[in-house]
Structure 1
Amino acid sequence: MDAGTDTTSTGLQWIMAELVKNPSIQDTLYKEINATTGDDQEEVSEEDVNKMPYLKAVVLEGLRKHPPAHFVLPHTAAEDTEVGGYLIPKGATINFMVAEMSRDEREWEKPTEFLPERFLPGGAGEGIDVTGNRGIKMMPFGVGRRICAGVGIAMLHLEYFVANMVREFEWQEVPGKEVDFAEKPEFTVVMKKPLRPRLVPRRT
């Protein structure tokens, strides 16, 4: 239950914290949502989110910069293997540094900045996704045969919730309760100081 829910709720909080801290990005996302959905709709639907490339870019950038788990399940080398000039002996336990990988300045330009545009056509992250099918530069769900079985539903949930929360409310930073990106390891890596924004209804 934790693996299926805590990871998604943690990822959601990190993404919304970035949108609070970056109001211009939130505005761009809101404009895309408005352009895709009608005023008479009660909510943003699953069909709607599939038509929103900027929304997907926001979620991918959130997972790149703030992967809920900084490690995936460890693996064991089945045989002696050479990787990058290093010998990995048979039986060695291998841990993948998920957060370090997606924040590596050798792979990502300005890795500490929240830049969803990198995942849009023409961006440096174009074609990169969370499955590893088109190059492994981030792996918040793991990759390959042992990728998280819930990757599809997790991405849908993140896109759906982010879209609906931004559609209904403007998320603002509160003086004295500024966004703090310090991390705290629990079951997942959470915000040390939980997000405390001001929500302003967009529709009356």
Structure 2
Amino acid sequence: MKTSEINLEKVSVFDPLIVPEHPKVQQLINDLKQGKRNLKDTDWAELDLSGLDLSNTDLRDSNFFNCELRCVNFTEADLGSANFKGANLRTANLANTDLHNANLSDTDLCHVSLEGANLKDTKFQRVKCYRTLLRNTTLPDGTLVKFKMSLTGDSLCVDELMNHYQKCYQRRKKIIGFGLFILFCLGVEVLGHSLSLIFSLMG
């Protein structure tokens, strides 16, 4: 059997993981190669866009219902009011995206980076997470996560997301407080030794 050879050097960052059969996906790839970045209010429902580079793209009000979005690079994209309900976003990069008022319900966000993302007023129900990263992320209620934290859960909702944040925040406060207490104790001990030394020298 003759094996076909693939020239990897010709693969572009805009090429998906699998060669698309749907003409709409092929058209999207061509638009991206030509530098088109205004794709707002577009219907991509139930299409496979895996592996595409959609960074710095205006995708506001777009419909990604039940889409395959594995490994998609959404970095710094505007995804305000986009519908991701039922989409597979596993291993996608959503860092520094604007997801204000977007619908993330019933999505798979395993191994996804949400660092720097704006989730204000996002619909967040029955979301699957595993090692989903947050830092400098704005949560649905407007809370800013200033430290790095990881989300894990099979069906997370907004309340569970907020509870997880509060637990991480309180645990972090205790660790920092304990660290400061240890430093204070060490400081007092060092100061005590220093004073003893000074008095012995004066006496």
Question: TM-score band (shorter)?
Answer: under 0.3
Taking CA–CA contacts closer than 8 Å with sequence separation of 6 or more, which of the two structures ends up with the larger relative contact order?
1
TM-score (normalised: structure 1) = 0.20
- 1 or 2, which has the higher helix percentage? 1
